[in-house]
């Protein structure tokens, strides 16, 4: 998938934001750095975490792979997270992902506040 900014390089940095739906940004690394520096949106803390490993208080960052899909929930395997142990499994409500990424094997990179996370997480 191409970077949404330069449309030349492969987008290696993905970020999903949740606010009445799922908004996904896909950038190559140089564009992600540029975007991060020019943005004052606190939710961009997800890029900060992905690019520099810097965690922002109050936010949860996660890189995870969808391993199972059920009716209205899905299970992810945590690759790296600021909040959950590596290799743990979590169940989320479907609202977390857009239809195009609603597939087993898809890797998700997302950020949300701790409260949003509580609303998204399904019963285990």
30: nearest Cα among 13, 49, 53, 54: 13
Cβ proximity of 105 and 59 under 8 Å: no
Looking at 1-124, list the stretches that DSSP marks H as alpha helix, in order from N- to C-terminal side: 29-38, 45-52, 114-120
Closer residue to Zn ion (CB): 6 or 54: 6
Q: Residue 15 interacts with Zn ion (CB under 5 A)?
A: no
Binding mask 18-37 for Zn ion (x = CB under 5 A): ----------x--x------
- Rounded least distance, CB 83 to Zn ion, Å: 28
Site residues (vs Zn ion, CB under 5 A): 3, 5-6, 9, 28, 31
């Amino acid at each position: 998938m191409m970077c949404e900014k330069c449309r030349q390089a492969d987008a290696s940095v993905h970020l999903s934001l949740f606010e009445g739906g799922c908004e996904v940004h896909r950038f190559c690394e140089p564009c992600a750095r540029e975007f991060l520096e020019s943005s004052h949106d606190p939710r961009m803390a997800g890029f900060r975490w992905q690019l520099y490993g810097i965690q922002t208080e109050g936010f949860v960052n996660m890189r995870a792979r969808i391993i199972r899909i059920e009716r209205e929930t899905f299970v992810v395997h945590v690759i790296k997270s600021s909040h959950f142990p590596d290799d743990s499994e979590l169940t989320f409500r479907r609202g977390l992902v857009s239809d195009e990424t609603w597939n087993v094997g898809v890797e998700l990179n997302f950020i949300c506040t701790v409260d949003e996370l509580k609303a998204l997480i399904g019963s285990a």
